[in-house]
């Protein structure tokens, strides 16, 4: 037993160490490659005068709109996707007949296996034409809200179309984590709520949600992480522009995301422009790190009280 | 080199197309089939070659490189050619400059700066640009009830600059007498990724309508007008799916989309794309402006196109390679392959299988001459 124990210990410690090394390696790569583009003189350097970096005075003026676009598109995806995902999870855990729940859970997990290029094509050929009349309606009646203002798109390649597809793409991760958490709700809590005369919805409100709150939050933030880095679907569907905009129904007012911008411009870029794109990647790395950090922090804060409640119920 | 000899080349022409159809790329087996006998002796030069050519770059050349590779390896069974289209022109040149490619495909000739850098990669002989692929930029549109459309440079520039926004604008109706144009708003579609097609198109607008098109030519779309789509296929799909849409794409990628006829200068004649018209276009607008010995950089001035037989918006793409390779064998097979590409046969295969327009004869002769000097 002893040698095998030792071998297993070494293997698992090695795996844990490896992930740290990989992460540090990626960070180091990003920083080293990004350096030249960040310190370059953007208004004078001939390598940055053409193509995607044309007309910017510094790296920060280039990356600013991209950071905004990345956050904004992910936010739209979350607003559209998270409630549905949580609804599906709740249906699977508390409403659906057992057999249906199994099938449904399996189907949602299957969504995660669809390649993003397929989602992109689906967005182009199905979602875009489908939402054009809906966009016209929103723009006509609610155009006074900045979100829905502007010249409405006739092609459908809008932030709304991209956000919708992105929302579908983050469904599986939010659903499957929320579902597991809902299923762990202590039976005693639920039965107590029902015994007090609660309807099923009141039971969910009283027993399930408070118990699962931090779990839902961490699931949502993991979904956000997925949305932040999504590249192909966004690149294929949305008509991008490098600007700060909240419009979601136009062709010309969709803030570009970091990942899609890098994918679209990498092939035609010269070495320094590639460094600039990698530098925007560094910004994305920092954002993702920040999101995960906040998620951990929230979970550690609320997770503590959950453990207390859990202990009390036993 | 022998294979650039005109007589041999024309003998290969039919045979290689047959071989292509017969064995679809499996070069090793083609020499065994009886009807490949004619190609076997004419292609004796190629069959003795062996090695692997590593290349990449321009995605505009992807289809035509595949057609050339298939036809060439059918005759040179021991040569493998890997052309990586995912790199794009910029990536191709970068990889070539750092020595990982035997040649790179690029939609823009090497800049003066890159040309100098090439001397570090290739030694004092430096590199050369060889024009290999000619096509045209088509202006495609979708407008219910309209199947034919005439446009001139100034109107195209105004549409893509966002100053003409409706299909029944007087500027458009004036060019299309007898056609009833609806008041449908115009939806402009352009590339969202960096692209040589955008560069060729904006060069044309910049040269022909500087008063309206105030932006410089470049690979990135310069203004915030219309809808940006990924890749030529993205533009074509979006134009096709809409109504009142207009976009631009490499002729070879437009499929069934309807393309407008473009006015030649201000002559009042409107020309639709054809391979012959594209060849004529380069013959009229291009001037070879060598940056060094053997180099075939082409200056294209579309304002020189005045003849009604020429299509006004040419699209030219190059392959760049070193004049002297560090490894002589590698130089031999690369020059042989590119020699095949700029041969009459090669250009015919490009036209047949990838909708390319054959380059004018004077260009092919010069390209063959340069490639013969590559060592």
Which DSSP symbol is given to B110? P
Inter-chain CB proximity A268 and B196 less than 8 Å: yes
Domain ranges for chain B = 5-135+316-372, 137-278
Which residue on chain A is closest to B229 by alpha carbon?
Answer: A239
pLDDT tens per residue across all 375 residues of chain B: 444 444 444 444 444 444 444 444 333 333 333 333 333 334 446 777 888 889 988 888 888 998 899 888 888 888 888 998 887 888 888 889 888 899 999 988 888 888 888 888 888 888 889 999 999 899 999 998 888 889 988 899 999 998 998 998 888 988 888 888 888 889 999 998 888 889 889 999 998 888 999 888 888 888 888 888 888 888 998 898 888 899 999 888 888 888 888 988 888 888 888 888 888 888 888 888 888 888 888 888 888 888 888 898 989 999 999 888 888 888 888 888 888 888 888 888 888 888 888 998 888 888 888 888 888
* The residue count for chain A: 314
Helix (H/G/I), strand (E/B), else coil: B342: coil
What is the predicted ipTM?
A: 0.79
- Structural domains for chain A: 15-312 (1.10.3720.10)
Which residue on chain A is closest to B107 by alpha carbon?
Answer: A268
Q: Which residue has the tokens 């007589």?
A: B7
**CATH fold for domain B5-135+316-372:** D-Maltodextrin-Binding Protein; domain 2 (3.40.190)
Nearest to A269, CA basis, from B3, B301, B90, B63:
B90
Domain B137-278 -> CATH class = alpha beta
User: What are the tokens at B264?
Assistant: 């030649």
Inter-chain CB proximity B224 and A252 less than 8 Å: yes
Selected for mutation to probe chain A from B224, B230, B234, B240 (highest A CB count within 10 Å) is: B230
Measure Cα distances from B185 to A14, A179, B41, B163 in Å. Answer: 62, 48, 61, 12
A133 touches chain B (CB under 8 A): no
pTM of the predicted model as reported, rounded to 2 decimal places: 0.81
CA–CA separation, A152 and A135 (whole Å): 7
Inter-chain CB proximity B245 and A46 less than 8 Å: no
User: What are the tokens at A239?
Assistant: 């008509």
CA–CA separation, A162 and B348 (whole Å): 43
**β-strand partners of A58:** none
pLDDT of residue A77: 92
């Amino acid at each position: 037993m002893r040698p095998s124990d030792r071998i297993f210990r070494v293997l698992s410690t090695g795996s844990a160490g490896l992930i740290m090394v990989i992460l540090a390696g990626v960070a180091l790569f990003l920083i080293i490659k990004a350096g030249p583009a960040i310190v370059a003189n953007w208004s004078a350097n001939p390598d940055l005068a053409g193509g995607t970096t044309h007309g910017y005075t510094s790296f920060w003026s280039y990356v600013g709109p991209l950071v905004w676009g990345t956050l904004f598109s992910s936010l739209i995806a979350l607003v559209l996707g998270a409630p549905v995902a949580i609804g599906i999870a709740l249906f699977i855990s508390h409403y659906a007949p057992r057999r249906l729940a199994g099938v449904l859970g399996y189907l949602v997990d299957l969504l995660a296996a669809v390649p993003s290029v397929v989602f992109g094509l689906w967005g182009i050929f199905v979602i875009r034409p489908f939402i054009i009349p809906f966009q016209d309606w929103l723009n006509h009646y609610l155009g006074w809200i900045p979100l829905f203002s502007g010249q409405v798109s006739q092609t459908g390649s809008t932030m709304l179309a991209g956000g919708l597809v992105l929302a579908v793409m983050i469904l599986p991760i939010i659903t499957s984590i929320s579902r597991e958490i809902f299923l762990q709700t202590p039976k005693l809590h639920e039965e107590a709520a029902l015994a007090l005369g609660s309807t099923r919805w009141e039971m969910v409100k009283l027993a399930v949600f408070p118990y699962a709150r931090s779990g839902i939050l961490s699931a949502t933030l993991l979904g956000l992480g997925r949305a932040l880095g999504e590249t192909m679907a966004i690149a294929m569907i949305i008509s991008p522009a490098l600007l700060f905009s909240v419009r979601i129904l136009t062709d010309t007012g969709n803030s570009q995301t970091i990942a899609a911008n890098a994918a679209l411009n990498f092939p035609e870029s010269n070495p320094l422009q590639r460094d600039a794109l990698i530098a925007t990647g560094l910004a994305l790395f920092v954002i993702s790190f920040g999101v995960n950090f906040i998620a951990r922090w929230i979970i550690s804060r609320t997770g503590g009280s959950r453990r207390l409640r859990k202990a009390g119920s036993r | 080199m022998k294979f650039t000899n005109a007589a041999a080349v024309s003998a290969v022409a039919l045979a290689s197309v047959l071989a292509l159809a017969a064995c679809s790329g499996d070069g090793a087996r083609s020499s065994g089939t009886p009807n490949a006998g004619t190609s076997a002796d004419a292609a004796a030069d190629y069959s003795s070659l062996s090695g692997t050519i590593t290349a990449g770059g321009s995605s505009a050349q992807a289809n035509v490189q595949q057609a050339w590779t298939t036809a060439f390896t059918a005759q040179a069974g021991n040569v493998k050619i890997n052309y990586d289209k995912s790199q794009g022109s910029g990536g191709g040149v970068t990889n070539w400059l750092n020595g990982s490619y035997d040649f790179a495909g690029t939609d823009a000739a090497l800049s003066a700066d890159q040309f100098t850098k090439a001397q570090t990669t290739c030694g004092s002989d430096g590199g050369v640009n060889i024009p290999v692929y000619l096509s045209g930029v088509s202006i495609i549109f979708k407008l219910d009830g309209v199947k034919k459309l005439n446009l001139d440079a100034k109107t195209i520039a105004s549409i893509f600059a966002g100053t003409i926004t409706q299909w029944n604008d007087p500027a458009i109706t004036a060019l299309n007498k007898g056609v009833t144009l609806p008041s449908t708003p115009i939806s402009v579609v352009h590339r969202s990724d960096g692209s040589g097609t955008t560069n060729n198109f904006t060069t044309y607008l910049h040269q022909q309508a500087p008063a309206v098109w105030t932006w410089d030519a470049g690979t990135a779309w310069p203004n915030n007008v219309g809808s940006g789509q990924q890749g030529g296929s993205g533009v074509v799909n979006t134009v096709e799916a809409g109504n009142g849409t207009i976009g631009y794409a490499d002729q070879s990628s437009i499929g069934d989309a309807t393309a407008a006829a473009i006015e030649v200068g201000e002559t009042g004649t409107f020309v639709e794309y054809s391979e012959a018209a594209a060849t004529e276009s380069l013959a009229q607008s291009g001037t070879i402006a060598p940056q060094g010995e053997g180099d075939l950089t082409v200056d294209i001035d579309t304002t020189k196109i005045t003849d009604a037989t020429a299509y006004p918006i040419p699209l030219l793409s190059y392959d760049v390679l070193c004049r002297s390779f560090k490894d002589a064998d590698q130089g031999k097979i690369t020059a042989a392959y590119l020699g095949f590409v700029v041969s009459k046969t090669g250009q015919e295969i490009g036209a047949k299988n990838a909708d390319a327009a054959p380059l004018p004869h004077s260009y092919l002769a010069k390209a063959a001459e340069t490639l013969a000097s590559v060592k």
